[in-house]
Amino acid sequence: MSQSAWSDKTNMSLLTDFYELTMANGYLDNDAGNVITYFDMFFRDVPEQGGFAIAAGLEQVIDYLSNLHFTEEDLEYLQTRYGFNDRFIDYLRNFEFTCDVWAVPEGTVVFPREPLIKVRGTAIQAQLLETALLCTINHQSLIATKTARIVKAAEGRPIMEFGARRAQGFDASVLGARAAYIAGVAGTSNTICGQQFDIPLSGTMAHSWVMLFDSEYEAFAAYAKTYPEGTVLLVDTYDVLRQGIPNAIKCAKEVLEPAGHRLKGIRIDSGDLTYMTQQARKMLDEAGLTDCKITVSNALDEYIIRDLISQGACIDSFGVGERLITSKAEPVFGGVYKISAVEDKDGNIIPKMKISENAAKVTNPCSKKIVRFYDNNTGKALADLIMCEDEEIPNGEPYEIFDPIETWNSKVVVDYYVKEIMVRIFDGGKLVYDKPSIAEIREYCAKEVDSLWDSVKRFENPHKYYVDLSQKLWDIKNDILHSYKKKA
């Protein structure tokens, strides 16, 4: 089944805030509908004050844009319920997506204020995309970013995504698990996600299995007879150390080993996980089950996992659910979609910028691109530079970058190579991007995270990664600010 199967079953064209439609109708009435505009989708802050984020969700954006049309049912609803006029309804009836779209590939490490998606198109079309793009990119980027933190805390131990039942709805469950896999989990418990996106599945038994039988040992033995090649036993239904582990060992010795099999693992879902796993490991080893793996679950996140490892817990893998699939500590990514330029009748690009007393809400004007500097010796990322689209990319000569706010804070980058990190996705509404497989995205994401210095990946007080403006872009922005101030 194709990766797009999850989203291509439903027409999502009305997944839009109502004001997008009222503005589109207004643009048409005021002969502004065909003005060529540029919009940027970006975010202002990394969740949980982290050092970086991971872009995810582009495949679903592509699916949405490739299927963007309005049905007669949609049109009847809009006209009869809200009174849109015939001219606008006919426009929507004949709607054909024709925008140019650029984006950073899924799995790319990204930073505040740099465009994740850039759209060039008529005012009506570019405006209508806002809600769906933000909904999709915000959600999956949030979960991918949270997952990267959890994977880092595990220090190479596999993480299984177990959050299906705690996600906020069907889509959040499936697409959240997809984003988690991109960012490094080993698999998911979500079966439909495994089917749709070819992600490894994991799952054994619940406490109800154990309680259904007359004894814990009988439950373990029955499971081992059904699944002798992959027996993982949940040992905390009653008493982990006095019943669960002894019964698991008994099952291994009396059921599995006589049939030529080994106990693959145990799972503990409650209690003092450090103490329990240390004692369990000792008991398993003494019984000759040194190859039996220990998995733990129970409301885990990166901080708990880090503490368990630092305390010497004997854990081989983790099952992480609610705090991953909801990004519980900070469940909003905060991406926004803002106009950055328009074209006049002669094709000249006129920069546009939102002005605010809140410095964080002042936007960057112009049609832009992003380049990333890498150290020639280590391959580590050094800084990102947001540039005007028509600027030449630095070619290895010493290049001075500077903080766009604290302009005195500058650095000369030397001995580097650069990579432009946005790629073209749609050209005039035609898809020109070859969508990678999820395995390729996952591999790319791992390389992206590895390209960051460890100081950027710290949970607390991470090193601030440089994201600077080119001199030309900074000058344009500064001139606009002074121009507004002068007019005021």
DSSP β-ladder status, 187-188 and 159-161: parallel
Q: Note the CATH architecture for domain 154-325.
A: Alpha-Beta Barrel (3.20)
DSSP 376: T
- How far is residue 464's CA from residue 309's CA, in Å, rounded to a whole number? 27
Continuous segment of H or E residues that includes residue 119:
strand 117-122
Q: Which among 43, 104, 120, 141 is positioned nearest to 363, based on CA atoms?
A: 43
Q: What is the mean pLDDT of residues 393-420?
A: 94
Question: Which CATH superfamily groups domain 3-144+330-487?
Answer: nicotinate phosphoribosyltransferase (3.20.140.10)
Q: Phi and psi of 468, rounded to 5°?
A: -115, 165
Amino acid at 193: C
Reduced to 3 states (helix: H, G, I; strand: E, B; else coil), residue 128 is helix
* Tens-digit pLDDT profile for residues 290-332: 999 999 999 999 999 999 999 999 999 999 999 999 999 999 9
Q: Which two tokens stand for residue 116?
A: 């994740």
Residue range(s) in the chain whose domain bears CATH number 3.20.140.10: 3-144+330-487
Residue 12 confidence class, pLDDT cut points 50, 70, 90: confident
* Tens-digit pLDDT profile for residues 140-153: 999 999 999 999 99
Reduced to 3 states (helix: H, G, I; strand: E, B; else coil), residue 358 is coil
- How far is residue 261's CA from residue 228's CA, in Å, rounded to a whole number? 6
Cβ within 8 Å of residue 49, ≥6 positions away: 462
Amino acid at 139: H
Q: Phi and psi of 450, rounded to 5°?
A: -65, -20
Continuous segment of H or E residues that includes residue 193:
helix 191-197
Using CA atoms of 90, 93, 97, 98 in order, give the dihedral in degrees to the nearest 10: -30
* Tens-digit pLDDT profile for residues 220-234: 999 999 999 999 999
